[in-house]
A and B are shown apart, each in its own frame.
Chain A
Amino acid sequence: MPRVSMTVNGRSVSGDVEGRTLLVQFLREHLHLTGTHVGCDTSQCGACVVHVDGESVKSCTILALQADGAEVTTIEGLAKNGELHPMQAAFREHHGLQCGFCTPGMVMSAVDLLKKNPNPEEDEIREWLEGNICRCTGYHNIVKAIQSAASSMKG
């Protein structure tokens, strides 16, 4: 089996994987980072979004081998020193999560949105979230949370 090495949440990791092993499988099954979730098998729900070299990526759409040598950040790596990232804090403040299953992908995706567009309009937020499905919140409070994070991250 080929060997893959990458940096995940600042830690160098490596493992022997099958060619077909997806990045999300490597994260969940090899590294036991189970915060990244699998909610579908057609790359649409977005529960598995992580950052690969700073870009949000559905970790079910790429092979672990494709992330060889990359810097990967998962939901477990977002909070620093026990302090929630402003996006995580905003989701909590605005009740942007209910069952919590889509939440890791939602948060990681939203962080990338603000990187690309620090001051998004409501419709831009809603459009960005096209690739993240939430069944609980009706998105209302997710949108509010992202708006709030945008203003707090500017400040």
Chain B
Amino acid sequence: MPDSGPDTGIGASVKRKEDFRFLTGQGRFTDDIDRPGQVHAYFVRSPHAHARIKGIDKAAAEQAPGVIAVFTGADMAADNVGSLPCGWVVTDRHGQPHKAPPHFPLARDKVLYVGDHVAVAIAETYAQAKEAGEQVAVDYEELPAIANPAKAAAEGAPQVHDEAPGNLCYDWVMGDEAQVDAAFAKAHHVTRLDLINNRLIPNAMEPRAAIGEYDGGTDNYTLYSTSQNPHLLKLILCAFVFGLNENKLRVIAPDVGGGFGSKIFCYAEETVCTWAAKKVRRPVKWTAERSESFSSDAHGRDHVTHAELAMDENGKFLGLKVETTANMGAYLSSFATAVPTYLYATLLAGQYTTPVIFANVKAVFTNTAPVDAYRGAGRPEATYVLERIVEVAAREMKIDPVELRRRNFIQPDQFPYQTPVALQYDIGDYDQSMDKALEMIDYKGFAERRKASEAKGKLRGIGISAYIEACGIAPSAVVGSLGAGVGLWESAQVRFNPTGSVTIFTGSHSHGQGHETTFSQLVADTLGVPIENVEIVHGDTGSVPMGMGTYGSRSLAVGGSAIAKACDKIIEKSRKIAAHLMEASVEDVEFDKGKFRVAGTDKEKSIAEIAFTAYVPHNYPADVEPGLDETAFYDPLNFTYPAGVHICEVEIDPATGITEVVDWVAVDDFGKVINPMVVEGQVHGGIAQGVGQAMLENCVYDMESGQLLTGSYMDYCMPRAGDLPSFRIGLTETPCTHNPLGVKGCGEAGAIAAPPAVINAITDALGILSMDMPATPEKVWRLANQHAQAAE
């Protein structure tokens, strides 16, 4: 790969191209868009966690000022609008597919969680729609609710779906239980740990929004949506929900204000807006109020786990056994089933040589909002299990936690490394990132720092987290064999315009990741064109080739590789044109930094000249088509495996229970890095979300009534600037071996690494083995003072 230097090429911290519009208020988010004649939708939602709908009286609402229409599930059923599907079929331990009860966009007979969609009121203004919606009289017969995943499968628990007896979606296993039992029988010591991975609400700052539009002249629909993957949304809506030919729907995801997974999925609201646009023959707009985001965006995590780690007398890991109950919520969201299985159990080897691993995951339905992928999706849950149990094991075995990890690290000469849980890691160097992190945090000096804290009356702790992540889920054939309903490749189209500028169409979607900059750097560097001459187009199924969107830290490794492949096609075609123009044989034409040269001569043509010739082919090779516009699809050979070590230090005031994160070192191996500034920004944000989970955030449902108790920023504690330290970031580099760029994913690393680092540090400070997240001041205070309390 040519490197055009530190200015705008690969490896440079190029300032972002997208910033100007956001900084000057000229971003174009879905709610910023108004369509001519648009009307507004308000969703009538269930106030009950579980109830039968005995009747809906919409007469008063229909008479309210400004109302255009009020629709219910019956209206959608009459139009044969289908159920929102789950796109990944998990096969249970008995060879049966998971239970997939229907999920209609507007409820038909029963409501299954607080916030479930019952009706939609459509009016001239949003205020009128809301007032009308509040006049829709729903006659509910309340039913007992189950909100606690740990009790969902218990005998006598209220049943969420008739189709899923015992509320069981699936009972799934990975690994050989007999081998693991044999390993445990030989163990010198077994560490056992019970963990709760607390439920989170994603809270992208831009609330979800949708505008559905119908053109009666062409019978075409357009949907503006806050989506991370507009093509996938189009596919699901057309093929599964509406039964509509895909050429009839265009989905546009303009600027999207953060996603973190929550905007991957196909939701009821965008489905209803699209469908209703034809019913009322006007564009139908809906923007979530934050309260709706809390109650009806797909939530994340929510695992209850028991784990056991068997070791020999030297602390060498012999086997790991994990039992997890994963909450699916009331309905299966688009990819919910894959998160606690193929994105979770497969990560349980971590950075270690644990020879045998057995995982059993029971997914259960409850009367809560659907749960699906949230930043990290399964991998933070696996890392939390592993890095917590390793830490506890170190304390029980009285081995330094760094040393215990090192004794079990996969060594550089063991790659490619086949884990016992399906994945094959291509490359890594775990001691290297550990060394660097220890040096950066001054691990040796910790005892002194602890003393200094003690002198101030504070408890100081240090916490390590050595994580691995599997990004860019792939290859398609493998995920297909595991139940995925889609391929997981990416597309790119590289179009030279006649006068030498370049337009890139990518199936990836940027909602904060800075693709417009990073992808432009990649193209500028590869094709040797100025970065300002490169434009990135994404988020519109009307112009971009079918693509799979952005999630799972896949955009550069998969989408960027597709761009690189399309650039290669451009160069190869251009080489033929250049050879013709310079009257040389194709083999003698070299390409470097935007110039084609005939080897050993001073003849050269710029790629811009070639592009012009391709569109004005007056002097042109006979066997080459005009135009310079190439499309490539890239299906990865494997996941990428970023890994690293995060270490944090905390100081606790035992008088108040307030924990301050006083230092944070993150050393990550993301392979080759195109824009370090952007990558570091991704790490910062990930850590903040991980610290949020560990110390602040917690989605709480009342376990009896199923009411959401943390339904606003008053109750759900988002990380503020004052809750976080500045972070110190270091990078190591083992280039990915199987993609053309040598890159790995970086978007989720922080959220994966951070929670166990925090809890390891806090429990270290408190001198205890374990505690559940979030480590709120109250909880920490109780733990810090439990001896004193017990003595009283």
Q: In the complex, are the beta carbons of B260 and A135 less than 8 A apart? A: yes
A27 to B737, CA, bound (A): 52
Q: List 29 A-B contacts (CB under 8 A).
A: A34-B28, A35-B26, A37-B257, A39-B290, A45-B713, A76-B24, A76-B26, A88-B23, A92-B23, A95-B677, A98-B513, A99-B205, A100-B27, A101-B27, A101-B205, A104-B22, A129-B721, A132-B721, A134-B721, A135-B204, A136-B512, A136-B681, A138-B685, A138-B724, A139-B684, A139-B720, A139-B721, A140-B724, A140-B727
**How would residues 139 to 150 of chain A score, 1 for a CB under 8 Å from any chain B CB and 0 otherwise?**
111111000000
- A138 CA / B19 CA spacing, docked (Å): 17
Chain A residues with CB below 8 A from B207, complex form: 38-39
- Interface SS of chain B: helix, strand, loop or mixed? loop
Taking a contact as CB atoms under 8 Å apart, the answer to whether A138 and B18 are in contact is: no
Q: Closest residue of chain B to A142, judged by CB?
A: B721
- From A33, A129, A133, A143, B25 is in contact (CB under 8 Å) with A33
B24 touches A79 (CB 8 A): yes
Contact A39 B684 (CB under 8 A): no
A74: chain B residues within 8 A (beta carbon): 25
Q: Roughly how many angstroms separate A79 CA and B26 CA in the complex, as a whole number?
A: 12
Can you list, as one digit per residue, whether each of B200-214 has a CB less than 8 Å from chain A (1) or not (0)?
000111110000000
Please name the residue on chain B nearest to A88 by beta carbon: B23
Q: Which residues of chain B have C-beta atoms less than 8 A from A129's C-beta? A: 720-722
Given A100-B19, A129-B722, A135-B685, 20 more pairs with CB closer than 8 A: A18-B127, A20-B127, A32-B34, A34-B29, A37-B257, A39-B205, A84-B24, A95-B677, A98-B512, A98-B681, A98-B685, A101-B27, A101-B204, A107-B23, A122-B726, A130-B722, A134-B205, A135-B203, A135-B260, A136-B685
B32 part of interface (Cβ distance < 8 Å) = yes
Q: CB-nearest residue of chain A relative to B750?
A: A138
Q: Residues of A contacting B681 with CB < 8 Å?
A: 95, 98, 136-137, 141
Describe A's contact surface by its main secondary structure. Answer: loop
Query: Is B22's CB under 8 angstroms from A97's CB?
Result: yes
Q: Separation in Å of the A76 CB from the closest CB of chain B? A: 4
Nearest residue (CB) in B for A40 is: B290
Interface set, chain B 1-35, CB cutoff 8 A to A: 15-16, 18-29, 31-32, 34
In the complex, what's the smallest C-beta–C-beta distance from B355 to chain A, in angstroms? 37
> Of residues B27, B31, B677, which shows the largest number of chain A Cβ atoms within 10 Å of its Cβ?
B27
Q: Is the CB of A143 within 8 A of B726?
A: yes
In the bound assembly, the distance between CA atoms of A95 and B20 in angstroms comes to 12
Alpha-carbon gap, A45 to B293, bound state (A): 14
Cβ-defined contact, B25 with A75, below 8 A: yes
**B766 touches A (CB below 8 Å):** no
- Contacts A38-B31, A41-B291, A133-B720 given; does A99 touch B512 at CB 8 Å: yes
Chain A residues within an 8 Å CB radius of B713: 40, 42, 44-45, 133
Residues of B within 8 A of A (CB): 15-16, 18-29, 31-32, 34, 127, 203-207, 255-258, 260, 289-291, 511-514, 677-678, 680-681, 684-689, 712-714, 718-722, 724, 726-727, 750
Known A45-B205, A93-B15, A140-B727: A103·B22 in contact at CB below 8 Å: yes
Closest beta carbon of chain A to B553's beta carbon, Å: 14
Most B C-beta atoms less than 10 A away, residue of A38, A40, A138: A138
CB distance from A74 to the nearest CB of B (A): 7
Chain A residues within 8 Å of chain B by Cβ, number: 57
- CB of B291 within 8 A of CB of A102, answer no
With A41-B289, A140-B727: A99-B718 Cβ-Cβ less than 8 Å: no
CA distance A125 to B290 in the complex (A): 26
**Cα(A41)–Cα(B130), bound, Å:** 15
A137 partner residues in chain B, CB cutoff 8 A: 681, 684-685, 688
Q: Which residues of B contact A136 (CB under 8 A)?
A: 205, 258, 512, 681, 685
Contact B684 A141 (CB under 8 A): yes
CB within 8 Å: A-B pair count: 180
Provide the residues of chain B in CB contact with A20, threshold 8 Å. Answer: 127
Question: A23 an interface residue at 8 Å Cβ cutoff?
Answer: no
Interface centre among B31, B207, B256 (most CB of A within 10 A): B207
Q: A91 at the A/B interface (Cβ < 8 Å)?
A: yes
Instruction: State the CA gap A39–B290 with chains docked (Å).
Output: 7
Q: Does A8 sit within 8 A of B, measured CB to CB? A: no
> Nearest Cβ distance between residue B535 and chain A, in whole angstroms?
18
Is A78 close to B, CB under 8 A? yes
> Given A123-B722, A130-B721, do A138 and B684 touch, yes or no (CB 8 Å)?
yes
CB-based contact A135/B689 at 8 Å: yes
A47 contacts partner chain B, Cβ-Cβ < 8 Å = yes
Q: Is the CB of A101 within 8 A of B206?
A: yes
A100 x B255 contact (CB < 8 A): yes
Residues from 33 to 75 in A contacting B, C-beta threshold 8 Å: 33-42, 44-45, 47, 74-75
Nearest CB in chain B to that of A130: its residue: B720
Which residues does chain A contribute within 8 Å of B32, judged by CB atoms? 28, 34
Report the minimal beta-carbon distance from B676 to chain A, rounded to whole angstroms: 10
Give bound CA distance, A134 to B258, whole Å.
Answer: 10
- Tell me the complex Cα distance, A100–B27, Å: 8
Cβ of A140 to closest chain B Cβ, rounded Å: 4
Given known contacts A47-B205, A74-B25, A99-B511, A92 and B20 CB-to-CB distance under 8 angstroms? yes
CA distance A126 to B661 in the complex (A): 14
Are A92 and B25 also in contact (CB < 8 A) when A135-B689, A139-B721 are?
Answer: no
Complex Cα distance, B724 from A133, in Å, reads: 12
Give the docked Cα–Cα distance between A92 and B15 (Å).
7
Contact B24 A35 (CB under 8 A): yes
**Alpha-carbon separation in the docked complex, A140 to B684 (Å):** 7
The distance in angstroms between the C-alpha atoms of A144 and B24, with both chains bound, is: 19
User: Which residues from chain B contact A101 at a C-beta distance below 8 Å?
Assistant: 27, 29, 204-206, 257-258
Distance, CA A91 to CA B20, complexed state (A):
10
Determine the chain A residues whose CB is within 8 A of the CB of B256 once the complex forms: 99
Measured CB to CB, the closest approach of chain A to B253, in angstroms, equals 12
Report the separation of the CA atoms of residues A20 and B477 in the bound assembly, to the nearest whole angstrom. Answer: 56
Residue of A nearest to B23 (CB): A88
In the docked arrangement, what's the CA distance between A154 and B514, Å? 31
Pick the contact of A88: B24, B205, B511, B722 (CB < 8 A).
B24
CA distance A132 to B680 in the complex (A): 21
What is the bound-complex CA distance between A115 and B15, given in angstroms? 27
CA distance A134 to B513 in the complex (A): 14
In the bound complex, how far is the Cα of B720 from the Cα of A67, in angstroms?
A: 29
CB closest chain-A residue, reference B682: A98
- Report the Cα distance A1→B510, complex, angstroms: 42
Q: Which residues of B are found within 8 Å of A79, using beta-carbon distances? A: 23-24
Whether B19 pairs with A92 at a CB distance below 8 angstroms is: yes
Chain B residue at minimal CB-CB distance from A100: B22
A104 partner residues in chain B, CB cutoff 8 A: 22, 25
Contact of B678 among A38, A45, A95, A102 (CB under 8 A): A95
CB distance from A11 to the nearest CB of B (A): 15
Beta-carbon nearest neighbor of A74 in chain B? B25
Say how far A96's CB is from chain B's closest CB, in angstroms: 9
A47 to B24, CA, bound (A): 14
Known: A74-B25, A135-B258, A135-B689. A100 touches B18 (CB 8 A): yes
Other-chain residue from A40, A41, A78, A139 in contact with B724 (beta carbon distance below 8 A): A139
Q: Which of A110-131 contact B (CB under 8 A)?
A: 122-123, 125-127, 129-130
CA distance A1 to B208 in the complex (A): 31
* Bound CA–CA A53/B456 (angstroms): 45
For the complex, what is the distance from the CA of A93 to the CA of B258, rounded to whole Å? 21
Q: Give Cα A44 to B713, complex, Å.
A: 7
Question: A84 to B255, alpha carbons, bound, how many Å?
Answer: 21
User: A42 touching B722 by the CB < 8 A rule?
Assistant: no
* Cβ-closest 9 pairs across A and B: A35-B25, A100-B22, A101-B257, A138-B688, A99-B512, A98-B512, A138-B684, A75-B25, A34-B32
Q: Is the CB of B721 within 8 A of A103?
A: no
Task: Name the distance in Å between B374's Cβ and chain A's nearest Cβ.
Answer: 12
Q: A35-B24, A92-B20, A133-B718 are in contact. Are A100 and B724 (CB under 8 A)?
A: no
CB proximity of B263 to chain A, nearest CB, Å: 11
On chain B, the residues within 8 Å of A100 by CB distance are: 18-19, 21-23, 27, 255, 257, 512
Scoring A40, A140, A143 by chain B CB atoms within 10 A of each residue's CB, the highest score goes to A140
